């Protein structure tokens, strides 16, 4: 598997972020071709302090080549362009393979 991980900074209005992300952005993301799975979770810390990021989204693809094709498609470009509609701050994006090492 190949992952595209997006770490979102803390929004000024978390409720507006959540509402737009779930109701507007995710339907656009789901249209990206060859997307195997997408996940999202809000960040926490074990000691209750403020986490570095608000949330982490991960898109999974079968391969790096599949991810490149999907993200450069019209649907991928639409999803990328939509981020500015709910996240004023830049998000940290990283790309990585996923190797299973345990169990």
Residue 3 has pLDDT above 80, yes or no: yes
Alpha carbon distance 80, 57 (integer Å): 13
Question: 71-94, pLDDT tens digit by residue?
Answer: 999 999 999 999 988 987 778 999
Which two three-digit tokens encode residue 97?
A: 């393979």
User: What percent of the chain is predicted at pLDDT more than 70?
Assistant: 100
Question: 51-75, pLDDT tens digit by residue?
Answer: 999 999 999 999 999 999 999 999 9
Average pLDDT, the chain: 94
Closest by CA to 63, choosing from 71, 52, 51, 55, is 71
- Cis bond leading into 47, ω under 30°? no
Which two three-digit tokens encode residue 4?
A: 């595209």
User: For the CA atoms of the chain, what is the radius of gyration?
Assistant: 14
Domain coordinates of the chain in residue numbers?
2-97
Q: Are 17 and 87 in contact (CB under 8 A)?
A: yes
2-97 CATH fold: Alpha-Beta Plaits (3.30.70)
More confident: 1 or 100? 1
């Amino acid at each position: 598997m190949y992952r595209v991980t997006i770490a979102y900074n803390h929004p000024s209005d978390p409720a507006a972020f959540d509402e737009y992300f779930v109701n507007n952005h995710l339907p656009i993301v789901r249209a990206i071709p060859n997307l195997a799975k997408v996940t999202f979770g809000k960040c926490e810390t074990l000691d209750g302090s403020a986490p570095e990021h608000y949330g982490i989204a991960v898109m999974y693809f079968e391969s790096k080549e599949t991810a490149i094709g999907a993200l450069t498609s019209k649907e991928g470009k639409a999803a990328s362009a939509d981020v500015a509609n709910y996240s004023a701050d830049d998000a940290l994006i990283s790309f990585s393979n996923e190797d299973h090492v345990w169990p």
